[in-house]
Amino acid sequence: MGLADWFKKDVLTPPFEELHGATLFHESMKNLDTDFHKMANEALEAHDNFGIPIALREFRDLFNGIQSVTYCCGGSGDDAAARAIVKAFPHIKCTVLVDPKMMIGTKSSDDGLISYVAGDMLNFIPPAQTVVLKFVLHFLTDEDCAKILAQCRKAIPSRKDGGKVIIADIVIDYNSPGPMLEAQLLVDIGFMTMTKGRQRDENEWRQIFKNAGFTDYKLLKKFGARSVFEVYP
Ligand SMILES: C[S@@+](CC[C@H](N)C(=O)[O-])C[C@H]1O[C@@H](n2cnc3c(N)ncnc32)[C@H](O)[C@@H]1O
């Protein structure tokens, strides 16, 4: 990846973007390096197909009493995680927000289980009782996280009406056993080189929630290197 040369440059662009012209998973990667982009998305889907059923079992209470969910954001429009949620909780109405550059307007999956809405999550998130951000914020700067969380607040009702944001992401925990802390830090290094984002510890997450005007949060059981937050308006 030309890291040695990159260190000598006076740039803020991550090395992956310097080399490929876009960050990991950015929609323009589809044209810049079709094979790589396809592989990255297949890896994400494999990760979800394996991990989501386990996560839904471990965190079953998360969706109790929830009638509607907006899932941010679907890659190909056929998102494994959103599908797993509606299969496990058939009463939940699920909308997947898709980058407008990948889709125009609104459509439904062939089986009608999911609605897809095109929108830029920095500017709009379709209203629902709960917004799910799974591995979204760790791609992004603190400023963009604040913008997206502000949109989440607009999209959900008050806490007494069941409004909450569910965030699945890496939480660096310096007290984790050695190999688990190594896994968290490796994701951090990977994302610093491939995206504009970073991994955060609980204090950094708390500050991000507070800056976006959320009043409270719960850090649910850790799940390998990943954790789940419930964040309340
Ligand atoms: C790696 S995925 C995020 C992970 C995804 N939530 C999941 O769990 O599978 C990144 C996706 O976000 C989409 N995306 C990036 N910026 C966006 C934006 N501003 N609004 C909506 N979608 C966006 C990209 O098109 C890409 O499909």
Q: Indicate which CATH number applies to the domain containing 163.
A: 3.40.50.150
Cβ burial of 34 (10 Å; 0-12, 13-18, 19+) is: exposed
Residue 223 or residue 55, greater confidence: 55
Encoding tokens for residue 104?
A: 């125009």
pLDDT tens digits for range 67-112:
999 999 876 545 788 988 998 999 999 999 998 887 778 888 878 8
| 194 close to ligand 1 (CB < 6 Angstrom) | no
pLDDT at residue 125 tops 60: yes
Question: Is 91 considered catalytic here?
Answer: no
- Taking the centre of ligand 1 as the mean of its atom positions, its distance from the CA of residue 64, in whole angstroms, is 26
Q: Answer whether 109's CB lies under 8 Å from 90's CB.
A: no
- Taking the centre of ligand 1 as the mean of its atom positions, its distance from the CA of residue 137, in whole angstroms, is 10
**Ligand 1 atom 22: residue of nearest CA:** 99
- Taking the centre of ligand 1 as the mean of its atom positions, its distance from the CA of residue 4, in whole angstroms, is 30
Number of domains the chain is built from: 1
Q: Give the DSSP per-residue string, 35-51.
A: HHHHHHHHHHHHHHHHH
Domain residues for the domain of 125 are: 3-232
| 99 close to ligand 1 (CB < 6 Angstrom) | yes
pLDDT at residue 150 tops 90: yes
| 121 close to ligand 1 (CB < 6 Angstrom) | yes
